[in-house]
Chains A and B, each alone.
Chain A
Amino acid sequence: MESWYFTEMPYPHLPPMEKLDNMRVAIPNRIYDPRIGADLYHRYLDEYLEADDVGLNMMVNEHHQTATCLDTCAPLNLAILARQSRKGRLMILGNPVANRGDPVRIAEEMAMIDVMSRGRLEAGFVRGVPYEIPAANTNPTQTLERVWEGIDLVTRAWKSHDEPFNYEGRFFHRRLVNVWPRTWQQPHPMIWVTGSSDLPNIKKVAEHGFVFATFLQPHTKVKEMFDAYRSAHKDTGLPGGGGVAYMPLVFVADNEREAEEGARELTWYLHVKTEPQFGNPPGYVDVATNVQALKGAFAGRSAAMRARGMEYLRDEGIMCYGTPDQVVKQIKSLYDKVGGFDHLLMMMQAGHMSNKRTVSNIRMFAKEVMPQIKDLPRSKSRPWIETLPPAAQTEAAE
């Protein structure tokens, strides 16, 4: 089991929630103070480096026009970490390829980070949550199609070494693709793709040999998705061999009271407020799901989840918190319930959580929890070193 540190880099200094219509998309940036923001950026990056020091891998993501996530350009932060971190793997989950509209540029950015970090990159691609649609203006009825065509173009760009090629797809047109630098890892870095319900799409991820990742879901739903992945997985020779990843909120402390207080701070993220039109843009989900939505089947679902409290979140595997032994037990139980998984992605900082508390969380997890879960068998695993060019393999082995 691989463990990954993650924060959305929030800007939590907002007016009282009841005075806001939205914490995403339409929230005015008048509220944002760049001086506080600068301190936050440096602080959050320092926390990533802390995680690297104690043996965790690092995961970054991006969102737009929101106070919940000030990492609006994940490759920038990943590039900083590629230079400043020393050993952990660097994962972006991910590149919003449907929304960015320039897959070749993404191929270049990822190749730079892969080379700069000497092969530590894991390149994720995401469709983007519904809230991203207004910011990107991407047609919500075809983001999934754009993701797959984007991945196709990026991987072709990475794998092409001898001469430029042209690409004339449905969405992306390039007359001459010839990416420099080429990637460090061969044939290219592992690709990760996220999902939250669409089983045929999860099987497609598995058939490509990519890693599938999902976040903050009840364990029964996670198992359903992981089973779909396992039923269709093919090892296509990519570094690491594929596998599945799950993200809960994680807080660990040496006593239960502190653990509960830390965990409560993490739930800030679950209380984010957004107007309904941003949550389900037209055609983002399929017709059958929208039929249920029109009949009111999902009304009040998030409110109900919030109302059920922290114990419910812990029972469902959406949050792991407690003393180190309690957290180990929860992770192992979750591991068993979902049929095993390869990567534990952990949102360990959110909302107002201080640097002190965050660092304590990171250190205690690495020292007390990680040694007890790192040997949980991975379902798919091939040493990353095998994928390096022969010369680099020798170098890395020494």
Chain B
Amino acid sequence: MSAVDARKEFLTVSGIKVEVERRGKGKPLLLLHGEEAYEPEAAFVDDLAKRFEVIIPSPPGFGSSERPLWLTDPHDLAFVILDIVRQLKLTDVVVVGFSVGGWIAAEMATIDDSFMSKLVLVAPVGVKLGSPTDRDIADVWLLHPEKVAKLKWHDPEKGKRDFTKMPDDKIAIVARNTETTARFCWEPYMHNPKLKHRLHRITRPTMFVWGEQDGIVKVDPYGKGYAALVPNGKLSVIGNAGHLPHIEQPEAFMKVLNGFI
């Protein structure tokens, strides 16, 4: 994959060394990748980089960013990313977050959305809407890996990674990302009980994007319920796509995204 004009650097915020990649030129677009970090490798990001300066931080514990012991949840990560925004003096930013990255973006927006122009949340996790015995979010660590793949992808073949053909340092990033996700999202599982009570603070136009066949977090009731908690929240559903509609249906995804931003 040939990234256009990619620049990687480490910034130090809150005493944490955080890896930040920047691609392209234009108005800033902050991309918060999902727990598996498929997005930085995806072609649609280079499309975005033709019009935006795409800024991709690796949150603490992801990629090569440090993970100090005092960080315990995505709410903490939100403060770290806000520190990056402040250090880079970013304003009028489009923020796009995927799954756990969407959760971080939502946490950020409830703290301070004054630097944001628009917010896009793609199949975000982070809230719990049902009763204690409802599984709002499929438990990816409890189910057989093959079952998880079926829930995550409309076409499970798309999610397969051949680790025998990947160099060890890349596999180590994949393994560390998984570890970090568990570190921050284990309990309460994939949500912050306080977040849903803070979503009313979001003032910016917000688009939720959902894959119609998402089995990890279902568009109905989860996606609809989540969007309804954000004052200017809209929901777009993409067909023939699971939890990663931007990977399974990049064209449809870009159409929705471009229509909004």
Binding site for B on A (CB under 8 A): 134, 137, 139-142, 170, 275-277, 281-283, 287-288, 290-291, 294-296
Contact = CB atoms under 8 A, between A and B. Distances in A.
B183 A276 contact: no
B95 to A, nearest CB: 27
B164 A283 contact: no
Nearest to A288: B172
Given A277-B142, A277-B145, A140 B186 contact: yes
Chain A CB within 10 Å, residue with most, of B145, B163, B164, B186: B186
Contacts of B174: 294
Nearest to B174: A294
Given A287-B179, A288-B172, 17 more contacts: A139-B187, A141-B179, A141-B182, A275-B144, A277-B141, A277-B143, A277-B144, A277-B145, A282-B179, A283-B179, A287-B175, A290-B178, A290-B179, A291-B168, A291-B171, A291-B175, A294-B171
B176 interface: yes
A139 B186 contact: yes
Give the interface SS of chain A, mostly helix, strand, loop or mixed: loop
Contact of A139 (B142, B143, B168, B183): B183
A188 B174 CA distance: 44
Nearest to A145: B69
Interface string B132-173: 000000000111110000000000000000011000100110
A170 B183 contact: no
B186 A141 contact: yes
B65 interface: no
A287 B171 CA distance: 9
Given A134-B142, A276-B144, A277-B145, A294 B186 contact: no
B171 A139 contact: no
Contact of B172 (A140, A283, A291): A291
B168 A282 contact: no
B142 A295 contact: no
A397 to B, nearest CB: 49
Contacts of A141: 179, 182-183, 186
